[in-house]
Amino acid sequence: MLYDTLGNTDVKVSKICLGTMTYGQQNTEEEAHEQLDYALTQGINFIDTAEMYSVPPRAHTYGLTEKYIGTWLQKRGKRDDLIIASKIVGPRDVDWVRPSLDFKPDSLRKALDGSLRRLQTDYIDLYQLHWPERKTNFFGRLGYTHRPDDPWEDNFLTILQTLQELKSAGKIRYIGLSNETPWGTMRFLQLAEKHDLPRIVSVQNPYNLLNRSYEIGLAEVSMREQVSCLPYSPLAFGLLSGKYHDKTDTPENRINQFDDEMTRYDNSPSWEATSRYIQIARDFGITPTQLSLAFVNTQPWVTSNIIGATTMEQLKEDIASLDVDFTPEMLKAVNDVHAEISNPAP
């Protein structure tokens, strides 16, 4: 296993982070524990979850992912050698989570306490805002359209002050963002420096061969400001694995099972680009999964690649992507496709 430094901290996290959003819906508690056990044997020390998980969100599965991780933590012990990340829900139609879905002080306190209770731990290493409160471009929107009717008022300072309170109480160690823009990230950094408040150490955004929008602005922020990129969906809901093109998929696979909700990658340009990436992988004698994950693993702004799996076979292949030598020739071939079919799945 390789390790990298989280943001501007002295914390070392594994280059592969275990994503867990299938726990409680596609994976049972027993399967979740099996994945967690195996990940540790491979040197993974970084686990990512969220209060909303599993995904797609359902009232009856809300919080199950954290709960399954919590029962595993209690069974395993040795909490301090792990880096656990979780997130607070932003505004969305998931009213079973809390009556008030925002980042106001009371919401932050209640959300964090709920996560701590389900995880059966006294603290969370990395606490993240799952998506912005304001109307901006995330979750499938590449271009920005200004919304003058947006009721949001800049509350970043209050958020940071509340997170400072929770940090001082020992409930969180570091803070991060998710599905955020360059403006939002820099605004948080500016306020933290000005008011001597906790600094953002990471941004967890989608990043894969079909969505390289992180490179447009946030990659420079990551490099110059020491803000770690934590990519999610590196296999684009499994599309980049090649199984859908090869017709080896099953009804249980993610895109098939949740086709009405997982539409980000369900378009002709994404399928065409994927078919070309599959051919590149085969030309170089590796699997499409290996090519896709190795591309993400080797980007200099990427600190830890958040992989997810529903089977042990998938998990083993994902982790083994660190052994792939991603060559300049592979990068050129990938970039040639990207130049023709750029970011088809924002």
Over 90: is that where the pLDDT of 103 sits?
Answer: yes
Domain around 250: 3-340
Using DSSP bridges, classify how beta strands 172-178 and 200-204 pair: parallel, antiparallel or unpaired: parallel
Domain contains 229: yes
Q: What end-to-end distance do the CA atoms of the chain give, in Å?
A: 30
Q: Specify the range with the lowest mean pLDDT, choosing from 34-38, 90-94, 164-168.
A: 90-94
Residue 316 lies in a domain: yes
The answer as to whether 158 is a domain residue is yes
- CATH of residue 175's domain is 3.20.20.100
At position 76, the amino acid (one-letter code) is: R
Number of Cβ atoms within 10 Å of the Cβ of 315:
21
Evaluate the CA torsion angle 320, 180, 174, 119 in order and state its sign.
Answer: negative
Answer whether residue 59 is part of any domain: yes
Q: Calculate what percentage of the chain has a pLDDT beyond 90.
A: 90
pLDDT of residue 337 exceeding 90, the answer is yes
Q: Is residue 346 part of a domain?
A: no
Interatomic CA distance for residues 16 and 3, integer angstroms: 8
Give domain status of residue 345, yes or no. Answer: no
- The pTM score is 0.96
Burial of 110 (0-12, 13-18, 19+ CB in 10 A): middle
Output the pLDDT for position 250.
85
Under the phi-then-psi rule, with left for phi > 0, alpha for psi from -120 to 50, and beta for the rest, what region is 162? alpha
Would residue 312 count as lying in a domain? yes
Angle between helical axes of 156-168 and 105-119 (0-180°, round to 10): 40
* % pLDDT > 70, the chain: 99
* Number of domains making up the chain: 1
pLDDT reading at 259 higher than 90:
no
Residue 266 pLDDT grade (very low, low, confident, very high; cuts 50, 70, 90): confident
Question: What single DSSP character describes residue 198?
Answer: P
What pLDDT does 256 receive? Answer: 78
Length of the chain (residues): 346
Predicted confidence (pLDDT) per residue in 29-83, tens digit: 999 999 999 999 999 999 999 999 999 999 999 999 999 999 999 999 989 999 9
99, part of any domain = yes
d(CA 120, CA 74): 7
Residues annotated catalytic, as ranges:
53
pLDDT at residue 158 in the model: 98
**Does the pLDDT value for residue 162 go beyond 80?**
yes
Reply yes or no on whether the pLDDT at 170 is more than 90: yes
Mean pLDDT of 169-173: 98
Please report the pLDDT score of residue 269 as a whole number: 96
